[in-house]
Chain A
Amino acid sequence: MNTSDSEEDSYNERSSLVQCESPTIPSYNQDHDMSLPQETDTKRRRPVSSGLDEPGPVERERASTPDGEEEELTLKYGAKHVIMLFIPVTLCMVVVVATIKSVSFYTEKTSQRLIYTPFEEDPNYVGQRLLYSLLNTMVMISVIVVMTIILVVLYKYRCYKFIHGWLILSSLMLLFWFSFMYLGEVFKTYNVAMDYPTLAMIIWNFGVVGMICIHWKGPLRLQQAYLIVISALMALIFIKYLPEWSAWVILGAISIYDLIAVLCPKGPLRMLVETAQERNEPIFPALIYSSAMVWMVGMADSSNPDSADERLRNEGGALAQEGVESEDDAAQGGRRRCSAEEDLEEDRGVKLGLGDFIFYSVLVGKAAATGGDWNTTLACFVAILIGLCLTLLLLAIFKKALPALPISITFGLVFYFSTDNLVRPFMDSLAAHQYYI
């Protein structure tokens, strides 16, 4: 199946950045009035922060103040938020691995490929295979780079409607077409008879509720569940249609690209974050998994007709590689944020881009698909979680948007190849003799 461009968007949503819930940066930069409920930190920090009048390098201010408790406080969103991200990442990976292990469709090799990986890998010629996988990777990465730059340009020139339409189209495709395919394959595997009218009802309801939840309003848990499901679906598509070696090289290349795009001053994602922060806008609220968003019904709808500038401050760029959502989304995101602020709710949690979910799941899914060894899958899973933990630790220290892919994918790849080639023979020999270590 050659996928259309709208699918490209879906994985352009790949946000490699971990949202730093760094309330300090936007709030102190934009707002001089400390008493206004900014999109701030926890209520703990508010009384503390009100004492400081200077915007700007607040972290340094804080560190220099005599009360060490402020410095302590800035790290305090640690362990709980890590777990708030562990759970959805684990769920996504569990869904992908369970599907891979049970539904054989996603591990069957077909001659169809994505248009982004045009070179076919021939298992007979190793050198040629390596070359083709590198070429595939270059094609894929350049497509992603181009798309990201287009998005940044669109965002800069405020073509919100275009971006929003693009995103709606890609979510439509994921929620309707891919889930239909998925359901069909599951039914085939378990030999369940299903008639088309019932199926149509199910898919229709699933899709419509998903679109509403993701792009408009919905209960937080439901929105999180939908985001996990679409990440899993996307990951399954990648696992099926990316050729073997290309997939691994692409994973490596994506993490390097992520690193560059987010940390380099001229990187597209960094420019995106900074633009969004300047405009006090939320970035792609529908394409980022947020772990703690309080939804308040009946929140001020007056923010709706306002222009983008009026929208509430972003939460600190969980960058996706997409452009910003339309006004609705931003307003919705704004509403959400507003409610969170005014609730005096506790800290708003961390955000992780959907692209991170997708690529983590691709790695674990591929580990599960090739070889059938559960030890490898488990090792990759633990490695990715530890990488995520380290990334969040760095986030707590540096307090700015960081790429979430590099550390986890590196650990995952290292553990995949070493477990598959070194640990597996060892464990097999031990099991044969029934020795225990």
Chain B
Amino acid sequence: MTLAVFFGCAFIAFGPAFALFVFTIAKDPLRVIILIAGAFFWLLSLLLSSLVWFIAIKASNSQDLTLQRGLLIFGVFFSVLLQEVFRFTYYRLLRKATEGLAAITDDDGSAISVRQMAYVAGLGFGIMSGAFSMINVLSDSLGPGTVGIFGDSQYYFITADMPSSKIFRRVKTNLKSSSLIQKMRALMTLALTLLHTFWGVLFFEGCEKSCWWVIAAVVSLHLLVAGLSLLNPLYEGSLPPVYGITLLMGVWAFFSSGGSLHSLNALCTRRKAEGESS
């Protein structure tokens, strides 16, 4: 069962991202570099926000659970804001480096456009964010001492200390609910990966055109999604709205980056035409 859960959750969470990588990014070395740099920037933002949270935790009373939880929620929102700040920083860096990037591509290869960079950067953010959410869960589902052996009781260790967090890793949950949690986690990770990609496109587009309301919308939607996740484990409250937002973002990003119903139509008819002619 654990192997099935492992593969299922892995494919749910990373399947689309992997497909996007293989089909659109893997062949172009410059895009791979931009992807990894995007992942690096997300990591930096996470690092700084963890630092702030850690300092807050250490400075506060560790016995007061409500305070700890409040600080964690503050950490969540601060992290979201910092991620957007770093997205903006990455945008500025890429803009500055555009000429240099054009120089290091192959002579016959096309230089990368801002829209492509936006997509790749967003995907980089998304992949890293997804990996950080999912990888530990996935490895735990494979490892020995599988979750759920010990029956119905649920323990959540909500501490910040490192040794205790090692204990946390042996979360004992209900056998039935553990794989549910992992599946929900995988679905949420998938949604976040796609969201980061779309937000990347929209954010860069907004920065390019100096449409500050677009940027504000992206930031507030990110905050909204993080806020919705605060409703967990009531997954009915968080997952459907998040997926709704994902769809909305997808459509918006598509139209914002130059797609239109006409081009969709052309794509379908051309495929049909190619199918007929071959």
When distances are taken between beta carbons in the complex, the residues of chain A under 8 Å from B233 are 434
Chain B: which residue is nearest A77 at the CB level?
A: B104
Contact A425 B161 (CB under 8 A): yes
In the complex, the answer to whether A435 meets B72 with C-beta atoms within 8 Å is: yes
| Size category of the binding interface on chain B | 35 or more
Q: A79-B105, A433-B72, A436-B225 are in contact. Are A382 and B135 (CB under 8 A)?
A: no
> Of the candidates B36, B47, B53, B165, which one forms a contact with A418 in the assembled complex, judged by CB atoms under 8 Å apart?
B47
CB distance from B120 to the nearest CB of A (A): 13
* With A389-B36, A422-B47, A437-B226: A430-B72 Cβ-Cβ less than 8 Å: yes
B46 within 8 A of A: yes
- B53 with A436: CB separation less than 8 A: no
Q: Are A431 and B136 in contact (CB under 8 A)?
A: yes
- Whether a CB of chain A sits under 8 angstroms from the CB of B160 is yes
Question: Shortest Cβ distance from A92 into chain B, in angstroms?
Answer: 17
A385 sits at the interface (CB 8 A):
yes
Among A375, A389, A434, the residue within 8 A (CB) of B229 is A434
Quick one: which of B47, B76, B103 contacts A423, CB cutoff 8 A? B47
Q: Say if the beta carbon of B141 comes within 8 Å of chain A.
A: no
Question: CB-CB < 8 A to A86: which residues of B?
Answer: 32, 36
Q: Which residues of B contact A249 (CB under 8 A)?
A: none
Main secondary structure of the interface of A (DSSP, over half): helix
| Docked CA distance A80–B108 (Å) | 13
Chain A residues with Cβ under 8 A from B51's Cβ?
418, 422
CB interface residues, B 210-235, toward A, < 8 Å: 225-226, 229-230, 232-233
A423 to B132, CA, bound (A): 10
Q: Enumerate A227-262 residues with CB–CB distance to B below 8 Å.
A: none
Question: Which B residues lie within 8 Å of A389 (CB)?
Answer: 33, 36-37
**Interchain pairs with CB closer than 8 A, number:** 143
Residue of A419, A421, A425, A427 with most chain B CB atoms under a 10 A cut-off: A425
Instruction: State whether A76 touches B107 (Cβ < 8 A).
Output: yes
Max chain A Cβ within 10 angstroms of own Cβ: one of B103, B106, B133: B103
A386 to B34, CA, bound (A): 10
Judge whether A425 and B160 touch: CB under 8 Å.
yes
Say which residue of A80, A396, A434 sits within 8 Å of B185 (CB atoms). Answer: A434
Selected from B135, B158, B162, B181, the residue in CB contact (under 8 A) with A378 is B135
List A residues 71-119 near B (Cβ within 8 Å).
72, 75-80, 82-83, 86
Question: Cβ of B131 and Cβ of A378 under 8 Å apart?
Answer: yes
**B158 to chain A: which residues have CB within 8 Å?**
429, 432-433
- The answer to whether A382 and B105 touch across the interface, beta carbons within 8 angstroms, is no
- Identity of the chain A residue whose Cβ is nearest the Cβ of B185 in the assembled complex: A434
Bound state CA distance, A86 and B181, in angstroms?
35
CB contact between B226 and one of A374, A378, A396, A436 (< 8 Å): that residue: A436
Does chain B have a CB within 8 A of A161?
no
Residue from B49, B104, B133 in contact with A76 in the complex, judged by beta carbons closer than 8 Å: B104
Least distance between A377 CB and chain B CB atoms (Å): 9
**Residue on B nearest A377 in the bound complex, by CB:** B135
Distance, CA A199 to CA B139, complexed state (A): 32
Q: Does A67 contact B (CB under 8 A)?
A: no
Contact status B36-A385, CB under 8 Å: yes
Q: Which residues of A contact B185 (CB under 8 A)?
A: 434
Q: A268 CB to closest chain B CB, in angstroms?
A: 32
Check A433–B50 contact: CB distance below 8 A: no
8 Å CB contact of A79 from B33, B79, B168: B33
A426–B52 CA distance with the chains assembled, in angstroms = 10
Contact with A along B52-75 (1 / 0, CB 8 A): 011001000000000001001101
Give Cα A396 to B104, complex, Å.
9
Judge if A122 is at the interface, Cβ distance under 8 Å.
no
Complex: A432 Cα to B69 Cα, angstroms: 11
* Residues on B with beta carbons closer than 8 Å to the beta carbon of A175: none
Question: Which residues does chain B contribute within 8 Å of A77, judged by CB atoms?
Answer: 104
B128 CB to nearest chain A CB (Å): 7
| Across-interface contacts of A435 in B (CB, < 8 A) | 72-73, 76, 226, 229-230, 232
Whether a CB of chain B sits under 8 angstroms from the CB of A33 is no
Select from chain A the residue with minimum beta-carbon distance to B222.
Answer: A437
Contact across chains for A422 and B33 when beta carbons are under 8 A apart: no
Q: A436 to B192, Cβ gap below 8 A?
A: yes
Residues of chain A within 8 A (CB-CB) of B5 are none
User: In the complex, A72 Cα to B131 Cα: how many Å?
Assistant: 37
Complexed CA–CA distance, A437 and B229 (Å): 8
A342 at the interface (CB under 8 A from B): no
B137 within 8 A of A: yes
Supposing A78-B104, A422-B50 touch, asked if A386 and B76 sit within 8 A by C-beta, the answer is no
Chain A, range 13-34, C-beta contacts under 8 Å to B: none
CB distance from A304 to the nearest CB of B (A): 36
Contact B165 A428 (CB under 8 A): yes
Tell me the bound Cα distance from A432 to B37 in angstroms.
29
Which residues of A from 186 to 201 have beta carbons under 8 Å from B? Answer: none
Contact B72 A76 (CB under 8 A): no
Pair B133/A436 contact, Cβ less than 8 Å:
yes
Q: Flag if A426 contacts B188 (CB, 8 Å).
A: no
Which residues does chain B contribute within 8 Å of A82, judged by CB atoms? 29, 33
Instruction: Closest B residue to A373 by CB, please name it.
Output: B136
Q: Which of B115-169 contact A (CB under 8 A)?
A: 128-129, 131-133, 135-137, 139, 156-162, 165, 168-169
Q: Return A395 CB to nearest CB of chain B, in Å.
A: 11
Q: Is B83 an interface residue (CB 8 A)?
A: yes
Q: A431-B137, A435-B232 are in contact. Are A426 and B29 (CB under 8 A)?
A: no
Chain A nearest CB: distance from B48 CB in Å?
A: 9
Please, how many angstroms separate the alpha-carbon atoms of A382 and B80 in the complex? Answer: 21
B132 with A80: CB separation less than 8 A: no
Given A78-B105, A426-B54, A433-B232, A379 contacting B43 (CB threshold 8 A) = yes
Bound complex: CA A425 to CA B181 (Å): 20
- On whether the beta carbons of A378 and B132 are closer than 8 Å, the reply is yes
- Complex Cα distance, B25 from A83, in Å, reads 12
- Interface CB pairs A-B, < 8 A, 9: A76-B106, A76-B107, A80-B29, A83-B32, A415-B43, A418-B50, A422-B47, A425-B50, A425-B54
18 extra interface residue pairs, beta carbon distance < 8 Å, beyond A83-B29, A437-B80: A44-B107, A75-B100, A76-B103, A80-B29, A378-B135, A389-B33, A419-B47, A422-B51, A425-B161, A425-B165, A426-B50, A426-B53, A426-B75, A427-B50, A429-B159, A429-B165, A435-B232, A436-B133
